[in-house]
Structure 1
Amino acid sequence: MNDDPADAAPTPPRPSRAAGEGSVRIVGTAHVSAESVEEVEAVVDEERPDVVAVELDEGRYRQMKGETPDDLDPGDLLQGNTVFQFLAYWMLSYVQNRLGDRFDVEPGADMLAAVETAERLGLDVALVDRDIQTTIQRFWARMSLVEKARMVGALAFGVTDPRIAGVAFGLLVGVLLGPVFGLFGGALGLTDALLARVTTGAWAGVVAAMLANFLAAEFELRSVPGVFASLAVGALVGVAAFLTGAGVDAVTGLLSPFVVGAMGSIVLGLLVGFGVGLLAAVVMSVTGVGLAAEEDLDDFEGFDPAELTDADVVTAMMEEFRQFSPGGAAALIDERDAYIAHRLVRLRESGFSVVAIVGAGHREGIERYLESPGTLPPMESLTGTAEPGGVPWGKVVGYGVSVAFLAFFLLLAMAGVRNERLLTLFGAWFLINGAFAAGLAKAAGARWSSASVGGLVAWMTSINPLLAPGWFTGYMELRHLTVNVADIGRLNDLLSDETRPLGEVIADMFDVPLFRLIMIVAATNVGSIVASALFALYVVPQFFGAADVNVTQLMLEGARESARVVWGVLA
């Protein structure tokens, strides 16, 4: 097997024809069609070409052949938008596997049949597709922010279990309600005594849940039922502390009124949001929202697999994306047409007779390029990392947060705010970021050492768009984890098992190193983002409100003083 027989070394196959007189026959297949497998075997056996070209890259070829998968590079895995690229790749892989199960054909069986038939006949095999990681990266980079949001939303409400989607929505609502309760709690009837009870109940519940989880781990009882039991214990203890008022005096004596009110408002907001999420989950289950993916697959029950030869599964799905993401579809379909055509033209010009096995959705585009090679875009434009199109809103927001944070403390200092007050405010920033980042990382399954590192650096990374606390947590976690591409197959197998309870499936998914790492990294970053939002929307107004200080007036005074200093230097 050679990646490209046209320039393979040291013993390349000899073409059967003179240079420039080669030929290419395209066989378009459906990646989940049994008929396609039979067609591939028959065409290769009949043609006996010099080379059998297949729509595979090196990584997918090795995985298909059952070789030991490559470990993933931690640096590549933790940087940039890799989490979302992984989700996009997983989505494509999962849908193809589900359709393969529906038709009782292993996804990629057509490619495997081509390779095995070529090997049986002593023919050379060429891998002519672009590396899948490059394709997914370019696919994600070419999508706009709105398109990415629509895609993630479709995944959340079309593939995710309604209960999970509903609770996630509720928690988002809860995060937004926390600042509202803190700022306008008095008008809503939220007394200091009520918030003190809520805070006490939250502390008691968290401690009880952690203790129950620790005992379960010590006695090797850790599982999803065990986690649920720990959460149930924490909830019962928290409710009991809230109702009885036990421990309120101790908590209010240990924490300042400001901290008690802040924690109580946040917890109360999350509890209300959780209730909203449960209600949303019930509504979604009753109305059928979130079951679209299953219904779409069920539509194929009476469908003839032979009809899939008009377009392969992945391309057919991505053609729908073309309606709202021309750039994303171009990276996944059009660029690969051109890339594969480049490889086939090169083989043909070298004098090789070629049978190319590609997804039927690529056939038309490739044949068009083979007929007019002069229309092919330069090969260098089809490889490498793509730069995101449009305004890089992520970087804009990231740098904006950094500038706003530095300007906030600088202007307060220029306005004459005392150092000890600034240190107190900075300490609140440090603690809130650390608590949320470390807490969510631990909830996602991180070790205490990894979660602690993410929490300790969260204050700094939340104001630096080039860093993320999840990277630090992830690198620490990788000391105990080894991730490879086979993990995606394990995840697909788990999601395809409809006989097991949801809790067991989720528990086993967290046992897959790649999924656990992605969730830990994402949870750490989300924790820091949420903490930063809460700090700006709730802590800062409450901090200065408690001292009866107008923060806006302070910022204006700081700006005027800064302007005087700058003018004095320039003058």
Structure 2
Amino acid sequence: MSEETPLIDVNDRLRLLGTAHIATASVEAVMEQIALYQPDIVAVELCQGRYETLVSDRRLDKEGLLKVVKEGKAPMVLLQSMLSAEQRKLGLDEGQQPGAELLAAVNIGKEAGCEIALVDRDIQVTLRRAWRKMKFREKWRLLRSLLEDEEEDDDEVDVNELLRDSDMLSSMMEELKEFSPGAGTVLIDERDAYISGKLAELDPSKKVLAVLGAGHLKGVAKKMVEPTPSHELEEFSTLPERSRIARMLPWAMPLILISAIAVFVSKGEGIDWLEFFTIWAIANAVFAAIGCIIARGHPWAVLTAAAASPITSLNPALAAGWFAGYVQLKVAEPTADDLQKFLKLDDFSSFWSNPAGKVLLVTALTNLGSMAGAWVAPLILLGGI
């Protein structure tokens, strides 16, 4: 057994193998442990979506990109892609892509006649729960850290050293919780609990080799003393309900604006309707257009953002970014090569030059700009009415 790769025997039927999702040594350790331990079941830190992507080498296609735009998932896909890009930087240095050891576990396990168990929570649920539990300050710090280019090599961590030093791993996990308590709870504590519960549901008479990220090794082992019950697993698998205030917030400014107009009309005070609609349209159009321009959208996408925002801002069920993103997709259509390269980007600045990444940025940043315009316009109007 390679000394660089940690493992924990929870009992004589369950072994946890800790890996770095980017280390060549981890791939070798997976092959070695399946041969030595001879498990009946190989459990992997994958959800169904990530599993299908790895085993089928699934690529993002135009229909999938359009679906992301229509369903308003651009921010989550961007966040997932940014996090993957950071992993991929290290993965390329090690000669392996992120998830290589999980793919090895699946393939070698199948070849050895083992059952394959997926024990991680759906990635979209994890990202959405993390995003909703993060405070505004945490979201800003996360986005800022992802956008900053790390030019110095002094801060790079050798992955083999990371695997050898469990204290370093624990320290890094604690740093994540300090950096973003909300995200840390979801990405670390909840997933440790979820994985332990899924492992506990496996046939206790069969030997299980669980291939997990090394950062989860101690947490899952600790949770296995009292695994998470099924009802809590269901809770962890659902999105937390938004508060009443959060649900009403998108409607707040339109309702305030309409109420103010109703008050003035009821008092018989005149309103310059031409000025009213001009200010509303310009404020919404300008902010949405700025968001689209920051995303380096096509001129037609920028015009679409500007035209759609005054209308969509009055109906939170619609979003200007959906229309701008659709136009961007049509007028600067990504090729199959662009879509393939998007899944391999290792630098966030490349998102602006990759046509597929640009569609997502246009969608997300136009929506952000339109949201800002929907708040600024009523403030201007109420001040001038």
The normalised TM-score by structure 2 is: 0.79
TM-aligned CA distance change 1:143 to 1:507, over 3 Å: closer
Q: Do residues 361 (structure 1) and 215 (structure 2) align?
A: yes
State how far apart, in whole Å, the 2-side matches of 1:32 and 1:315 are. Answer: 18
1:339 paired residue number:
194
Report deviation, 1:358: 0.7
* Equivalent position to 1:91, from 82, 100, 113: 82
Alignment check: 8 A CA contact 2:197 2:228 kept: no
Report deviation, 1:373: 3.1
1:508 paired residue number:
353
2:203 alignment partner, SS class? helix
Report deviation, 1:425: 2.0
Q: Do residues 48 (structure 1) and 46 (structure 2) align?
A: no
TM-aligned CA distance change 1:135 to 1:361, over 3 Å: same
1:283 paired residue number:
none
1:32 alignment partner, SS class? coil
1:265 paired residue number:
none
Alignment of 1:108-507 (within 5 A): 108-156=99-147, 158-159=148-149, 293-295=150-152, 297-300=153-156, 303=158, 305-310=160-165, 319-349=174-204, 351-373=205-227, 378-388=232-242, 395=247, 397-418=249-270, 421-434=272-285, 436-438=287-289, 441=292, 444=295, 452-475=303-326, 487=339, 490=342, 492-493=344-345, 495=347, 505=350
Alignment check: 8 A CA contact 2:69 2:322 kept: no
The answer to which structure has the higher helix fraction is 1
- Deviation string 1:64-102 (CA, Å, 9 cap, x unpaired) is 33533365475665556x444334322321221112233
State how far apart, in whole Å, the 2-side matches of 1:313 and 1:139 are. Answer: 24
1:344 alignment partner, SS class? helix
Report deviation, 1:333: 1.5
1:348 alignment partner, SS class? coil
Report deviation, 1:48: 1.6
1:25 alignment partner, SS class? strand
1:371 alignment partner, SS class? coil
- Deviation string 1:198-224 (CA, Å, 9 cap, x unpaired) is xxxxxxxxxxxxxxxxxxxxxxxxxxx
Report deviation, 1:131: 1.5
- Deviation string 1:524-557 (CA, Å, 9 cap, x unpaired) is 224434544654566776xx5xxxxxx4xxxxxx
Over aligned residues, Cα RMSD in angstroms? 3.7
Alignment check: 8 A CA contact 1:32 1:108 kept: yes
Report deviation, 1:367: 1.8
State how far apart, in whole Å, the 2-side matches of 1:377 and 1:314 are. Answer: 30
State how far apart, in whole Å, the 2-side matches of 1:476 and 1:381 are. Answer: 38
State how far apart, in whole Å, the 2-side matches of 1:442 and 1:307 are. Answer: 41
Q: Which amino acid aligns with 1:29?
A: T
State the aligned residue count: 371
1:31 paired residue number:
21
2:96 alignment partner, SS class? coil
2:18 alignment partner, SS class? strand
2:93 paired residue number:
102
State how far apart, in whole Å, the 2-side matches of 1:393 and 1:489 are. Answer: 40
State how far apart, in whole Å, the 2-side matches of 1:443 and 1:110 are. Answer: 38
- Deviation string 1:244-284 (CA, Å, 9 cap, x unpaired) is xxxxxxxxxxxxxxxxxxxxxxxxxxxxxxxxxxxxxxxxx
- Deviation string 1:490-524 (CA, Å, 9 cap, x unpaired) is 2643628xxxxx7xx56632x2x2x2222222332
2:151 alignment partner, SS class? helix
* Equivalent position to 1:521, from 363, 367, 376: 363
State how far apart, in whole Å, the 2-side matches of 1:483 and 1:312 are. Answer: 45
Report deviation, 1:25: 1.2
TM-aligned CA distance change 1:364 to 1:530, over 3 Å: closer
Report deviation, 1:366: 1.8
Q: Which moved further from structure 2: 371-380 or 326-335?
A: 371-380
Structure number with greater Rg is 1
Report deviation, 1:130: 1.5
2:4 paired residue number:
none
TM-aligned CA distance change 1:347 to 1:401, over 3 Å: same
Report deviation, 1:424: 3.4
- Deviation string 1:4-32 (CA, Å, 9 cap, x unpaired) is xxxxxxxxxxxxxxxxx982111111222
- Deviation string 1:351-395 (CA, Å, 9 cap, x unpaired) is 22111111111112222232323777622111022235xx67755
TM-aligned CA distance change 1:413 to 1:312, over 3 Å: farther
State how far apart, in whole Å, the 2-side matches of 1:506 and 1:39 are. Answer: 34
1:407 alignment partner, SS class? helix
State how far apart, in whole Å, the 1-side matches of 2:264 and 2:74 are. Answer: 37
Q: Which amino acid aligns with 2:33?
A: V
Q: Which amino acid aligns with 2:218?
A: E
TM-aligned CA distance change 1:116 to 1:52, over 3 Å: same
State how far apart, in whole Å, the 1-side matches of 2:115 and 2:334 are. Answer: 34
2:8 paired residue number:
none
State how far apart, in whole Å, the 1-side matches of 2:297 and 2:269 are. Answer: 39
TM-aligned CA distance change 1:314 to 1:436, over 3 Å: farther
Report deviation, 1:61: 2.4
State how far apart, in whole Å, the 2-side matches of 1:330 and 1:101 are. Answer: 29
Alignment check: 8 A CA contact 2:102 2:211 kept: yes
1:399 alignment partner, SS class? helix
Q: Which amino acid aligns with 1:95?
A: E
State how far apart, in whole Å, the 2-side matches of 1:397 and 1:374 are. Answer: 35
Report deviation, 1:322: 0.9
- Deviation string 1:278-311 (CA, Å, 9 cap, x unpaired) is xxxxxxxxxxxxxxx333x54337x461432556
2:55 paired residue number:
65
TM-aligned CA distance change 1:90 to 1:67, over 3 Å: closer
Report deviation, 1:140: 0.9
The normalised TM-score by structure 1 is: 0.56
Give 5+ residue unaligned stretches, structure 2.
1-10
1:65 alignment partner, SS class? helix
State how far apart, in whole Å, the 2-side matches of 1:491 and 1:70 are. Answer: 8
Report deviation, 1:142: 1.4
